[in-house]
Structure 1
């Protein structure tokens, strides 16, 4: 693989100076077009030490408008980062739409080093590369342009490069003992890098191998590749928009196909909605579970075990009341309730999962989502706020997200609070009559009620596709608020107990 990048290619100063002004102008024009686009550009720089990754990133920052670029490099995770899933820090730093993000020592750095130093097996490295593929695929499917450059040097050229830097007082600081240790392990690095590139060079995120010995040649390849890739992606996205606009034009209505399975029982229709708890029994069980939760959370805080709770359900199903009964058992310093509404301008400029990643708490805390990332496969699906492709691929993206949460040692519980249409209507009418509850009832609630069938279909699909072994859904019969509250509290306590046993 790397033999083709060891041909000693060079670009003379005269040749580079001849193309530089035009190339720089074209890159600035591409960046101007990108500012108005609906996608970000993500550039990953990898490669051997001394091959020019930093210098190339610096040149890009010099040539382009720095207001619309961000550069990130990573070392060992900080305490704040270690408290969260490994990809949290990468999601947090992603560029918004219209911007360029350059990543050095990126998500590839740890798997490569761990394999070279023998800390993980080939199979374990492959598993981590699969996670990277999922990450980059999710970004690309959302429209992002992912470009990856691997800067290569032969062992002889790397030694020469490191010596040259070391001998110059102005650049000696760039060479560390670690660089020379890595040089001694050159063959191991090349072997691991070849596997890394083969496993992660995909159509949506190709690796470009660049010979790094000659700086001007390296710059020419990277800058031209970048310019051409962004231009092609801009043109492609504009063409896709035109096709989408054509598809939205009204067409002659077709007679709908007969729904053969309409009478089949669904997941929600199989619930026993008569479940109930009476006053004294409810109060006793509520206090028992609150005391249990308080004790378990103090243990979880001491062990650094975080908890993530997801609440979804019908309008007026009692999510807010249930959350309040739960948080009353916790110290206000230890939990955060995240109410999810329509995304802000800042959030719309990112992948839809970005705003949920950023809210994941540090170790030992509780994060409660009042509505969540499932909006993509519920309200956005039913209301047509995203394409069919977008909500259909979201099932896999969500499963991967939740898998990372659980793998990081967090306790994850997901609740769907279910009520019947008749119970919802009764609660709506009650809200309209009680002055301090009237604010809860909106025109949108009534509109959503008219689409009950479509939402019920979406909920059933959601549960079928995302109730996994490590992140199952708990369906809560919520016609009785007392039953629902106790069931939720008991489920959280059971999950915390299981999570604490695993953390030993």
Structure 2
């Protein structure tokens, strides 16, 4: 498939100069138009070594207004990144709507290198590529434009370029470890690249193969391709969501036919005060010990609390945080999104707070707002909240696959109990801040919320992240159920050290380390043989 990138295309200095000024003017104009839209542009720059990817990115930053462009490189992984799911680092590089992010390698770099170095099989690579396809589809459905460039050249041209770079002390190529592998095994790298491109070349996010032998041809082609891609996206009236706007099936009108999972909860369950105090002390002691064990084993925990207004989420969270050292956890209260958060995909603000290894993040309300309040109140379109179920399931799967312990609680109370708690909040001065006009408005939509919760649980209670439904009319009972569930889950999870499963990186960290150690030993042996 790379034959078209080896035909020897070129542009003379004169032609380049004549076309450059006009192209730059057009790029700046389309960039100004982009700022007034809800479209984030993600430019992925990848390809064979020595193809001039850095030169291209520098050229784009020269032609564009850099106030609306950010550039990210992913050849190095910080400790902070290694202690979180792999995609955390990419979510942090997502551009705001109307802006551009240029990503060196992006989410393709690690899978390509792992397969090329023999750290994973073709099937493991394909598993990670499937995840990439889903990831890109999710971004595109949210309005993003993804422009993917693959820079290629013939083996002879690469060899000549590498020789040129080896004499340049400022070249990044000097800093690439084991660089001989790329130049000595050109055909193998090309084979991996072809598999990756064929698997991920989709109509909504195609790959653009750029011949990189001639620098002037390469740069002009990239600039013109990017210009065309942004112009085409701006001219589209809207994304085609017609396949995602199917209405929910209408249920029979009889009362028994309208029963939901929430109706099956026994809200009369209660716990005597004396039992509550003794159980609370015991469970909080246990949670404290488990939190330190998880810290020492570098196992992160994410706790999600959802429920009806006045359901007791805050009280349950306080019983958890009172037991855990404050240095080990962060509690994230989720309210209406800020302007910065609205400028990104809705999952962006939750990815930001994913804990590093051994720590705990507690979400007081969460990403489920997309299929609850945003659905019921009309803040999200039908297409947006309907596709959110699969987006959320994939998001949570990535957390669990990376070794994170994920628990999700829905705390349910009756309408009568909610009404009583609302009145108590109005009458007790130090609780009045908890009650708002919005709470009363939401109460009027109780049936709609109950329907939304039922569908949420059905669609997102999976084998890797099941919901725990908590009977919340009696606060002591609800709190003890939450604490005991956390203790039981952590105890079971911490019995064994978790490694990212095959298909995540796309292969386990331990296996990669073993393969890299083997490569190092072979390299040392080769060097020692030469010295003798």
Above 0.5 in TM-score?
Answer: yes
Whole-Å separation in 2 of the counterparts to 1:431 and 1:273: 21
Alignment pair present for 1:364 and 2:362: no
Aligned pair 1:470/2:464, yes or no?
yes
Deviations 1:13-66 (A, max 9, x none): 122222111111000000111111111100000100011211110000011111
Matches within 5 A, 1:307-346: 307-346=301-340
* Cα 1:258–1:94 shift into 2, 3 Å: closer
In structure 1, the residue matched to 2:121 is: 121
1:466 Cα offset (Å): 0.4
**Does the C-alpha gap of structure 1 residues 112 and 262 become closer, same or farther in structure 2, counting only changes over 3 Å?**
farther
Deviation at 1:164, TM superposition (A): 2.2
Counterpart Cα distance in 2 of 1:437 and 1:476: 23
Gaps of 5+ in 2: 499-532
Task: Measure the CA separation in 2 of the matches of 1:176 and 1:325.
Answer: 50
Aligned match of 1:33: 33
Corresponding position: 1:301 with 2:295: yes
2:502 corresponds to: none
SS in 2 for 1:94: coil
Give the alignment of 1:194-209 within 5 angstroms: 194-209=194-209
- Aligned partners of 2:47 and 2:418: how far apart in 1? 59
TM-score, normalising length: structure 2: 0.89
Q: Does the 8 Å contact 1:162/1:175 carry over to 2? A: no
CA deviations on 1:278-337 (whole Å, 9 max, x unpaired) are 111111111121111111111111111111000000000000011111111101111111
* 1:229-308 aligned within 5 A: 229-236=229-236, 239-240=237-238, 259-260=252-253, 263-264=256-257, 265-308=259-302
Match for residue 488 of structure 2? 494
How far the C-alpha of 1:502 sits from its partner, in A, is: 3.0
Q: Give the paired residue count.
A: 492
Contact 1:83-1:363 at 8 Å conserved across structures:
yes
SS in 2 for 1:107: helix
With normalisation by structure 1, the TM-score equals: 0.94
Matched residues in 2 for 1:477 and 1:327: separation? Answer: 21
Partner of 1:251: none
- Residues 419, 175 of structure 1: alpha-carbon distance in 2 compared, 3 angstrom cutoff: closer
- Alpha-carbon distance, 1:174 to partner: 4.9
Root-mean-square deviation over aligned CA pairs: 2.0
Residue 16 to residue 175, structure 1, CA distance change in 2 (3 Å): farther
- 1:115-194 equivalences in 2 (<5 Å): 115-167=115-167, 171=171, 174=174, 176=176, 178-194=178-194
Kept in 2, the 8 Å contact 1:9–1:211? The answer is yes
Q: 1:319 to 1:122 in 2, by over 3 A?
A: same
Mapped contact 2:50–2:173 kept (Cα < 8 A) = no
Q: 3-state SS of the aligned residue for 2:195?
A: helix
* Contact 1:310–1:368 (CA under 8 A) maintained in structure 2: yes
For 2:488 and 2:15, the matched residues in 1 are separated by 69
CA distance in 2 between partners of 1:299 and 1:102 (Å): 40
Match of 2:215 in 1: 215
Judging changes above 3 Å, is the alpha-carbon distance between structure 1 residues 486 and 169 closer, same or farther for their aligned structure 2 residues?
A: closer
* 1:253 match: none
How far apart are residue 258 of structure 1 and its match? 7.5
Distance 1:175 1:439 in 2: 57
The 2-side partners of 1:171 and 1:290 are apart by 56
Question: Contact conserved, 1:311 with 1:319, CA < 8 A, in 2?
Answer: yes
Alignment of 1:21-170 (within 5 A): 21-167=21-167
Deviation at 1:195, TM superposition (A): 0.6
Q: Please state whether the residue corresponding to 2:146 is helix, strand or coil.
A: strand
Separation in structure 1 between the aligned mates of residue 73 and residue 202 of structure 2, nearest angstrom: 23
Aligned to 2:497: 503
2: distance between equivalents of 1:278 and 1:186?
A: 72
- CA shift, 1:154, in A, is 1.4
Paired residue secondary structure (2:103) = strand
Specify whether residues 211 and 317 from structure 1 end up closer, same or farther in structure 2 by C-alpha distance, changes over 3 A only: same
**d(CA) in 2 for partners of 1:456, 1:68:** 43
Query: Bigger CA drift: 386-395 or 5-14?
Result: 5-14
Sort the Cα spacing of 1:258 and 1:276 in 2 relative to 1 into closer, same or farther, 3 A. closer
Aligned residue in 2 for 1:250: none
1:414 to 405, 408, 414: 408
Aligned partners of 1:49, 1:227: CA distance in 2, in Å?
A: 25
Match of 1:501, SS? coil
In structure 2, do the counterparts of structure 1 residues 432 and 35 end up closer, same or farther at CA, with 3 Å as the change threshold? same
Tell me how far apart the structure 1 counterparts of residues 412 and 280 of structure 2 sit (CA, whole Å): 20
5+ residue gaps, structure 1: 248-255
Residues 485-504 of structure 1 show CA distances to partners (whole Å, capped at 9, x for unaligned) of 00000111111112212317
User: How far has the Cα of 1:180 moved from its partner?
Assistant: 2.8
